[in-house]
Amino acid sequence: MHRFLTVLCLAFFVGTIAEYLPAQIGPDQLSELTKPHDYVLKRSSSYDRTGGNADARPVPSGSTITVLDENGPGEISHIWFTIADREQFHLKKIVLRMYWDDEKTPSVEAPIGDFFGLGNGEYFLYQSIPLSVGADKALNCFFPMPFQKHARITVTDEGQERIDSLYWNIDWREYRSPLAPDTLYFHAQYRDAKPNSAVREAKVNLDGKNNYVWMEATGRGHFVGVTMSVFENADGWWGEGDDMFFIDDQKLPSINGTGTEDYFLGAWDFGGKPFSYGLFGAPVVGPEKKDSKWSVYRFHLDSPIPFTKSLRATIEHGHANDRGDNFYSVAYWYQSEPHAEFPALPSASER
């Protein structure tokens, strides 16, 4: 009898949780197919309005194109881009921005490659739950992005050459009823250090001083992950840095990790082998040599990191910040609006 009640309670709990999880990260997508859905699925895309096959848009250098401009309530469920651009490192020079409910400053601002985890400006294939890059150059995002009144997404070409062809499909759900008042909004912020400032004399680091900062936020929300790319400026292992999260104005880290590859859920310098899984990966693993490139990611979909006042998410660059490598990152989180102002995005030449 006790076992029956335990199983019954567990089934009820799992079913209740599944009801409120977005379909793209639900524990059992097939089981959701038998349930009715009370939304109208919409799509904003670059399709040829004449009925022909010219399904892309050119984007002149220095110009901005709006790829979604819709009224709510609604929720973006999937974003897909592919880009034909002959300019080297165009992934670093094209900027993606997202605005919710007529806000003046974006909740998402990042080079388009960095947003999709391609922080070294080069394409590679990998698969995670919220982000993936498919063959050959298909950029996919499955983070749910709700909006109450309005959503606008723009793409800006800050390169010297035009984007020959920008293709996009953005799927979103038009809801019949307003969002719940406590709905949190999606945010993503780009940061970089070129290079990090090495602190050679430090032996210990208890308070996170001089750490590389993934993001800082004020308000209420939760941190859900980060993608990061590294360019080594010296031989040796770059990943002895500990992750440190400072929650709700704490002076010492509320969460303190044991090393960079440990935070990204690998081990032993990632074993010299690339890998990518649903919640973590190191899809680009280089030799531990000067000029090597690395790309890593971790998503906290299993346990997002909540904050009620503020969050400062950081990581050391080497033990006690004794390395001076280049870091490029995008942090992803959800929070109530308004959000704190983002740092100024570096110019395309600086990125």
> Do 266 and 321 lie in a common domain?
yes
Domain span including residue 160: 39-175
The torsion angles phi and psi of 24, rounded to 5 degrees, stand at -75, -15
Same structural domain for residues 168 and 219?
no
> Do 200 and 81 belong to one domain?
no
Q: How far apart are CA 335 and CA 351, in angstroms?
A: 27
3-state secondary structure of 275: strand
CA distances (Å), 119 to each of 2, 84, 90, 326, in order? 52, 18, 11, 11
- Cβ–Cβ < 8 Å for 348, 159: yes
CATH code for the domain of 72? 2.60.120.1390
Asked if residue 2 belongs to a domain, the reply is no
Closest CA to 76 of 95, 98, 96: 98
Express the helix, strand and coil content of the chain in percent, nearest 5 each: 15, 40, 45
Name residue 217's amino acid: A
Separation of alpha carbons 144 and 75, rounded Å: 7
The answer to whether position 148 is within a domain reads: yes
- Domain membership of residue 345 (yes or no) is no
Tally the domains of the chain.
2
Domain boundary among 175, 195, 229: 175
- 224-231 average pLDDT score: 98
Same domain, 233 and 299: yes
- List residues bridging with 60 in a β-sheet: none
pLDDT at 305: 98
pLDDT tens per residue, range 185-215:
999 999 999 999 999 887 899 999 999 999 9
Q: Is residue 28 pLDDT above 80, yes or no? A: no
- Tell me: do 210 and 125 sit in the same domain: no
pLDDT value of position 29: 78
Of all helices (H) and strands (E), which one includes residue 151?
A: strand 150-157
**41-90 confidence digits (pLDDT tens):** 999 999 999 999 999 999 999 999 999 999 999 999 999 999 999 999 99
Task: Give the end of a domain, one of 175, 201, 226.
Answer: 175
